[in-house]
């Protein structure tokens, strides 16, 4: 008959054929369809955009900062300047004086980032003369409702709008080169006007790109406009001609001087000559400030003055036109999808092969670091690719595969537990399942020393019964009897180690290693109680035999408690759960000793070693010391008569004469 451990090996093969055989390719297809379709939906509706923009901001902060732009000078109106002037807006007289003072140093362009749509105080005529000079640019607003018009004295060609595109999270990541005003007229941005004046002095003028119609080329760079789905953006308001704003640094885009310093000098001529000069407010009280990718690391309110943002835009345009910096580009949609699919496929393979949680965590962490590293290296070289989407693709695909594997493991466990439960108790089957890694790793269970209680059972009169039946009916009858015996064993946390034809070997106390005395006592008591319960079952079995006209049967049971070694026997192709030791032999000899003495249909014999663990729970009769077959030393044998009535004092009947059994 098949033993307990060889059955465990066979069950593994049964499990493999009893559950659907989904190959790695099929699982990969399920994971890819599930994850990629989900990510596509999330990207389409812009739900991943905040994550991608967050990574974009981090890349901006991690990018190497450039030194102050030597092509620019910032004249900032500070809180100290406001207190010195004692008025806001600053009067036309002071503003004209400032422009005149700067013009002496021959700047390439002067940009006034302050609304001057009406005269302020005295000196308007002088200011109008300054506005009329060909290198002065003033501002207006594109707002259709409450827009601010340009200064009346400024030539229309020298006016630019100062509107800055702001993302939904109120962060400035884009700039607007030109757009249509409410009347449909094309208007250039303030920053573009200043950059074009400076570049014209270098012989660089805008032309249409040879690569694509209606696309501006300026010097070394082609300024491809943003689309509604450029980079990580989805459903972007791409009105006008927009581009990503590349920040030169976190705070100091160029040399900065105060209004007081510009008015009263002296100034170093090289600071102004041939430079773009921007004039604007940096005072907190004037609230001309915006959030940028650098806001989380900036001091104070974390915001950047508008004049500094325009300086960043001017610097980027000039650098791109002169080849100092390259503009940000994006992967085509097909490349981005291939990027996602590649990481999803890699996640499938890794999650399918690496079942160990630590190895899987290391692999996923490594993949994430590669995605981040690749994204950062491309970003600092002018290419913005998705980061959050491939990371999610990696993690979610692995999660789908792991979930599938966990589901299959659960199904296999259910099958194994159900089949194991036919030969062991659910608790022991669960313990074996939890310890399966040792078996899978070493190919066998290592031997351990335990104190266990062995129960051997043999059917007396089986040969007589077999003569009355055909082999098929005999097998069915025997299976019914053994099934009832097995039920009693399992009900008491024992295991049926083997069936020996018409006999059974059961063990109590394995494979769990019981070391406490109370645990060993419980194993011994369970074994004896199991023997008595089998006797109760035998009454019903014989009643069925009488009804079927079959001979009645009797059973002999031997129980012994002692040291044994348990573990796997055999090789990797066939393993059995072995229970070895002299205690096993003693229990077997107890079952077969004194066969002529059968005081009841189910005789249960134990030795002193088992009796010591019963704690007076059973009525026993001493049969004295007996010489068992193969044993040199005499064994004190007791016949278990029944469970003890707690109300009656326990006693052991007088010993009969010693009997030698060979």
Please give the Cα distance from 28 to 352 (Å, whole number): 9
* pLDDT over threshold 90, residue 435: no
| Residue-wise pLDDT tens digits, 255-265 | 999 999 999 88
pLDDT score for 420: 46
Which stretches of 181-237 are assigned E, i.e. beta strand?
186-188, 206-208, 216-218, 221-223
Whether 111 contacts 158, CB under 8 Å: no
* pLDDT over threshold 90, residue 511: no
Selection from 396, 376, 394 nearest residue 385 by Cα: 376
- Which parts of 63-158 fold into alpha helices (H)? 79-85, 92-103, 124-131
* pLDDT over threshold 90, residue 203: yes
pLDDT score for 438: 55
| Residue-wise pLDDT tens digits, 6-63 | 443 444 444 344 434 445 566 667 777 888 788 878 887 888 889 999 999 999 999 9
Query: Can you tell me the mean pLDDT for 65-76?
Result: 95
> Considering only 381-385, 477-481, 656-660, which range has the smallest mean pLDDT?
656-660
Specify the residue for token string 């590349």: 246
Query: Can you tell me the mean pLDDT for 171-185?
Result: 89
pLDDT score for 575: 60
pLDDT score for 42: 82
* pLDDT over threshold 60, residue 533: yes
Domain boundaries, the chain: 4-45+334-419, 69-325, 443-660
pLDDT score for 462: 85
Selection from 4, 30, 164, 81 nearest residue 507 by Cα: 4
C-alpha distances out from residue 437 to 10, 82, 469, Å = 17, 77, 45
What SS3 state is found at 475? helix
φ, ψ of residue 604 to 5 degrees: the values are -120, 115
| Residue-wise pLDDT tens digits, 450-466 | 899 999 999 988 888 88
Q: What is the overall mean pLDDT for the chain?
A: 85
Please give the Cα distance from 484 to 361 (Å, whole number): 49
* pLDDT over threshold 90, residue 273: yes
Please give the Cα distance from 32 to 285 (Å, whole number): 54
pLDDT score for 269: 94
Residue, of 125 and 550, whose pLDDT is higher: 125
CATH number assigned to the domain covering 443-660: 3.30.70.1230
pLDDT score for 17: 42
Selection from 79, 74, 112 nearest residue 95 by Cα: 112
CB atoms within 10 A of CB 624: 15
């Amino acid at each position: 008959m098949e033993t307990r451990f060889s059955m465990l090996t066979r069950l593994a093969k049964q499990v493999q054929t009893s559950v659907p055989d989904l190959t790695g390719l099929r699982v990969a297809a399920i994971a890819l369809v599930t994850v990629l379709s989900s990510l596509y939906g999330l990207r389409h509706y812009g739900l991943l955009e905040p994550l991608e923009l967050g990574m974009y901001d981090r890349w901006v902060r991690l990018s190497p900062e450039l030194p102050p732009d030597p092509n620019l000078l910032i004249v900032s109106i500070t809180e100290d300047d406001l207190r010195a002037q004692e008025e806001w807006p600053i009067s036309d007289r002071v503003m004209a004086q400032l422009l005149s003072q700067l013009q002496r140093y021959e700047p390439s362009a002067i940009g006034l980032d302050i609304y001057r749509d009406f005269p302020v105080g005295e000196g308007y005529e002088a200011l109008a003369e300054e506005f009329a000079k060909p290198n002065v640019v003033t501002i207006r607003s594109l707002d259709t409702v409450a827009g601010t018009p340009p200064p009346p004295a400024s030539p229309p060609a020298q006016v630019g709008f100062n509107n800055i595109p702001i993302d939904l999270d109120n962060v400035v990541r884009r700039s607007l080169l030109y757009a249509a005003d409410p009347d449909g007229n094309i208007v250039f941005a303030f920053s573009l006007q200043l950059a074009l004046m400076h570049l014209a002095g270098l012989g660089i003028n805008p032309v249409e790109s040879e690569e694509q119609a209606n696309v501006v080329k300026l010097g070394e760079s082609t300024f491809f406009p943003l689309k509604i789905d450029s980079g990580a953006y989805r459903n972007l308001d791409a009105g006008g001609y927009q581009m990503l704003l590349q920040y030169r640094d976190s705070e100091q885009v160029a040399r900065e001087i105060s209004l007081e310093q510009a008015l009263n000098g002296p100034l170093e001529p090289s600071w102004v000559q041939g430079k773009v000069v921007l004039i604007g407010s940096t005072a907190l009280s004037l609230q001309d400030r915006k959030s940028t990718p650098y806001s989380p690391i900036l001091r104070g309110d974390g915001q950047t003055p508008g004049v500094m943002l325009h300086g960043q835009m001017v610097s980027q345009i000039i650098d791109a036109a002169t080849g100092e910096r390259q503009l940000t580009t994006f992967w085509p949609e097909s490349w981005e999808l291939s990027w996602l699919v590649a990481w999803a496929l890699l996640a499938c393979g890794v999650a399918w092969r690496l079942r160990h949680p630590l190895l899987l965590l290391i692999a996923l962490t490594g993949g994430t670091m590669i995605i981040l590293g690749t994204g950062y290296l491309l970003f600092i070289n002018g290419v913005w690719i998705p980061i959050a989407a491939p990371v999610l693709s990696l993690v979610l695909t692995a999660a789908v595969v792991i979930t599938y594997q966990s589901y299959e493991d659960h199904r296999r466990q259910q099958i194994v537990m159900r089949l194991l439960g036919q030969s062991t108790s659910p608790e022991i089957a669960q313990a074996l399942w939890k310890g399966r890694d040792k078996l899978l790793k070493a190919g066998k269970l290592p031997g351990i020393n335990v104190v266990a209680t062995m129960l051997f059972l043999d059917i007396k009169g089986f040969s007589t019964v077999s003569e009355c039946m055909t082999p098929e009916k005999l097998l069915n009858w025997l299976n019914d009897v053994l099934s009832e015996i097995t039920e009693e064993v399992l009900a008491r946390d024992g295991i049926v180690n083997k069936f020996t034809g018409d006999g059974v070997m059961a063990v109590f106390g394995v494979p769990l290693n019981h070391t406490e005395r109370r645990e060993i006592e419980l194993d011994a008591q369970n074994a004896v109680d199991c023997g008595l319960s089998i006797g109760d079952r035998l009454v019903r079995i014989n009643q069925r035999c009488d009804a079927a006209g079959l001979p009645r049967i009797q059973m002999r049971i031997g129980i012994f408690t002692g040291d044994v070694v348990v573990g796997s026997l055999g090789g990797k192709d066939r393993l059995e759960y072995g229970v070895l030791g002299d205690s096993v032999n003693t229990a077997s000899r107890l079952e077969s000793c004194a066969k002529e003495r059968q005081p009841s249909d189910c005789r249960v014999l134990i030795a002193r070693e088992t009796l010591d663990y019963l704690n007076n729970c059973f009525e026993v009769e001493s049969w004295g010391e007996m010489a068992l077959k193969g044993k040199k030393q005499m064994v004190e044998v007791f016949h278990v008569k029944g469970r003890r009535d707690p109300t009656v004092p326990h006693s052991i009947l007088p010993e009969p004469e010693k009997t030698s059994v060979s």
